[in-house]
Structure 1
Amino acid sequence: MKILHLSDTHNCHHRLRDLPDADVVVHSGDFCMVGTEQEAMDFLNWFCDLPYKHKIFICGNHDDCLYDANIDGLPDNVHQLSNSGIEIDGVKFYGVPMFLEDCITERQSRNYAKIPGDTDVLITHSPAYGILDYDDGINYGSEEILKKLSDLHLKAHLFGHLHARHGILEQNGITFSNGAIMNADYTVPNTPNLITLDNA
């Protein structure tokens, strides 16, 4: 299975051209900049029109207009994961959004704790602590996600949030992908990450 991973497009999704072929495209949050419904609708219209068989997205901390939103009318092959999962061709995807309202309470900790043990591909907005999360002398990743990873047998963990650490890292048999498209100063788009998974 080929996965095209995007994150942190921040209203610049229309600047992405000639995206590579893949079986699944995943956006791991922050498609908005200020979090308005108009921004979200513009992204969703673009995302739904992408020529991929399966499309998955979660929300990031800039996408608060979709907090507790039940989006009607999405095509059958477009999946919003919000503390939920979907199985595609035998691969189990699970997504945990990053809403500010959850982060300032204990809800986000409970959301991470509920990630199923049989997840193959975990999609979060935040990286795990110490994994593609370092910027300006600080590791910004989540220690809770890092702790949860030890309970899982993932094939891949897809995230964003830290624009300066875009890239892919293979570690302990897991592919870690920071798919942040906009660079640290929001000026130049990074190349989307393309990941190949063994379905077995």
Structure 2
Amino acid sequence: MEVKVHKIGNVEDCDRRVVRIVHISDTHMRHNDYIDHLPHGDILVHSGDFSAFSIGRYFGNKTSDRDRVIDEINKFFGKVNFEHKVFVPGNHELSFDVNTKAYIEERLTDVHYLQDSSINIEGINIYGSPWNSKRWTSYARGFAKNANKLIKHWNLIPKQTDILVTHLPPEGILDLATKKFSGLKNLFSRNSACDVCCSSHEAYEHWGCKDLRNIILKGVRPTLHLFGHVHEDTGIQEIDGITFSNAALKINQTINVFDYYI
């Protein structure tokens, strides 16, 4: 499995302490397939969609399912050899938002669970938020809201955040997803430039959040933003001094790794 290592922080100062961060996302219940491929690191971050949608999970006993999923997540993080582990849920964590954050935190004993909350690890301030845009084509709607209601969650992100972890990407950054029914739409549309990125991509659309992008680039300005959600547009991108990472593993088997110079 491919591993990409990217240097961030005060990289000019070779005497700085280095913390290695391993980022994965969107494992969709295939987590055990990746255990042997995880490189050594200090902090493992999973940015959501540990679970996988199913009709039974959607219409079944969500209380029972919640406990099974939480147990499986905890078991996975108990197996991996990292001193610190962080988990932020995604839209496939349907069973998570049917109860309280405290309920989940009590049962995830082998990982730091972040839901609109922060933790300081190795001198790094990490903030996590699971909220994402509701899509009419998907029943996977854990922590999903209408796009215009997400801003109140992004406004909670502390200004002193060094690493931001969300499930949802910011608009226009590693967020191009395949359009549903794109073949039919193309019959009645022209190949024109996108208003967001000025490129032409008739079969794809941006899933990211404009308000999240504005908060990151104009307000919080973390050193690193980790996310997933969009399976087709994984990678690492640097914009205006901020490094962005989409590490969804569903399609592209690449693990993003960062050496953070404190």
TM-score, with length taken from structure 1 = 0.89
Contact 1:30-1:61 within 8 A present in 2 as well: yes
Segments ≥4 residues shifted beyond 6 Å: none
Contact 2:70-2:107 within 8 A present in 1 as well: no
Bigger RCO of structures 1 and 2 (CA < 8 A, at least 6 apart): 2
The separation in 1 between residues aligned to 2:77 and 2:148, in whole angstroms, is 31
The separation in 2 between residues aligned to 1:105 and 1:161, in whole angstroms, is 15
Residues 1:163 and 2:209 are matched in the alignment: no
Residues 1:128 and 2:170 are matched in the alignment: yes
Q: Give 1:153 deviation, angstroms.
A: 2.5
Contact 1:24-1:52 within 8 A present in 2 as well: yes
What are the superposed Cα offsets for residues 126-149 of structure 1, whole Å, 9 maximum, x if unpaired? 100000001332111011111101
Supply the RMSD in Å over aligned alpha carbons: 1.9
1:192 equivalent in structure 2: 255
Other structure's SS at 1:32 match:
coil
The separation in 1 between residues aligned to 2:247 and 2:147, in whole angstroms, is 27
Instruction: Specify the structure having the higher radius of gyration (Cα).
Output: 2
Gaps of 5+ in 1: 184-188
The separation in 2 between residues aligned to 1:41 and 1:106, in whole angstroms, is 34
1:43 equivalent in structure 2: 73
Q: Give 1:78 deviation, angstroms.
A: 1.9
Gaps of 5+ in 2: 1-18, 58-64, 133-140, 179-203
The separation in 2 between residues aligned to 1:52 and 1:135, in whole angstroms, is 32
Q: Give 1:46 deviation, angstroms.
A: 0.8
Q: Give 1:105 deviation, angstroms.
A: 8.2
Contact 1:3-1:195 within 8 A present in 2 as well: yes
User: Aligned letter for 1:164?
Assistant: E
1:80 equivalent in structure 2: 113
* Higher helix content, 1 or 2: 2
Contact 1:92-1:120 within 8 A present in 2 as well: yes
Contact 1:133-1:139 within 8 A present in 2 as well: yes
Q: Give 1:57 deviation, angstroms.
A: 0.4
2:159 equivalent in structure 1: 117
Contact 2:227-2:245 within 8 A present in 1 as well: yes
Among all aligned residue pairs of Structure 1 and Structure 2, give the percentage whose two residues are the same amino acid.
Answer: 34
Residues 1:91 and 2:124 are matched in the alignment: yes
Counterpart of 1:180 (choices 241, 248, 254) is 248
Contact 2:147-2:209 within 8 A present in 1 as well: no
What are the superposed Cα offsets for residues 174-195 of structure 1, whole Å, 9 maximum, x if unpaired? 1110010111xxxxx6121111
Counterpart of 1:32 (choices 33, 36, 51) is 51
The separation in 1 between residues aligned to 2:176 and 2:144, in whole angstroms, is 23
